A and B are shown apart, each in its own frame.
Chain A
Amino acid sequence: NAGVMQNPRHLVRRRGQEARLRCSPMKGHSHVYWYRQLPEEGLKFMVYLQKENIIDESGMPKERFSAEFPKEGPSILRIQQVVRGDSAAYFCASSPFKGNEKLFFGSGTQLSVL
């Protein structure tokens, strides 16, 4: 049973390009969470999704950021027209139930914007 898979591990983009970060949850997990870790800062919640639904996007910036978790395939965090301030580590976690005791984290995607 593979763990939470995130890809790519490292992503380099130039200002103005789009970044697409993928997260495949553990098998049987239908709840996905995205977090961002800016340099020298703590983790920050971005969005919580269940299959085909966004449940809580209160941590997402109002513009340029979107997330989806389709019926088939991985969850995608999409950042349009990236800026240098978007450079961060983006982590995804999954769980089988809401309020589950344990979250399973992916290894993260390090986004660098040049």
Chain B
Amino acid sequence: KNEVEQSPQNLTAQEGEFITINCSYSVGISALHWLQQHPGGGIVSLFMLSSGKKKHGRLIATINIQEKHSSLHITASHPRDSAVYICAVRSQGGSEKLVFGKGTKLTVNP
């Protein structure tokens, strides 16, 4: 079993729909990152969370430390949101090493 599991693996939505991507992890962490990888391969850091909730534009990320679970929500989805969304965790203990999920491929159709 991977340390970081994402679901779903693939997600297709219609423009305007509310999107939820889930991430579960099995180790104690100091932080969790959400990343976006564009079809061309470029990677953008979206959020880093250690507790609670963060919001940036139409993106919302939440984390429940007790349940070892995080969600990334996209409101009013748009075709330009089509990308692979990757969850990554940094273990406790001061390590800078990130352990990545395999990603969720999101396709938003017009």
Contacts and interface: CB of A to CB of B under 8 A. Distances in A.
Interface magnitude class on chain A: 20 to 34
Interface string B1-38: 00000000000000000000000000000110101000
Contacts, number: 54
A5 interface: no
A99 B97 contact: no
Interface in B66-99: 86, 88, 90, 95-99
Interface string A45-88: 10010000001101100000000000000000000000000000
A59 B95 CA distance: 12
A51 B5 CA distance: 33
Q: Which of B33, B40, B45, B88 gathers most chain A CB within 10 Å?
A: B45
Interface of B: 30-31, 33, 35, 40-45, 48, 86, 88, 90, 95-103
A12 B38 CA distance: 23
18 contacts: A33-B98, A42-B86, A43-B86, A48-B96, A56-B95, A56-B97, A59-B97, A91-B43, A93-B43, A99-B31, A99-B90, A101-B48, A104-B45, A107-B40, A107-B42, A108-B42, A108-B43, A110-B41
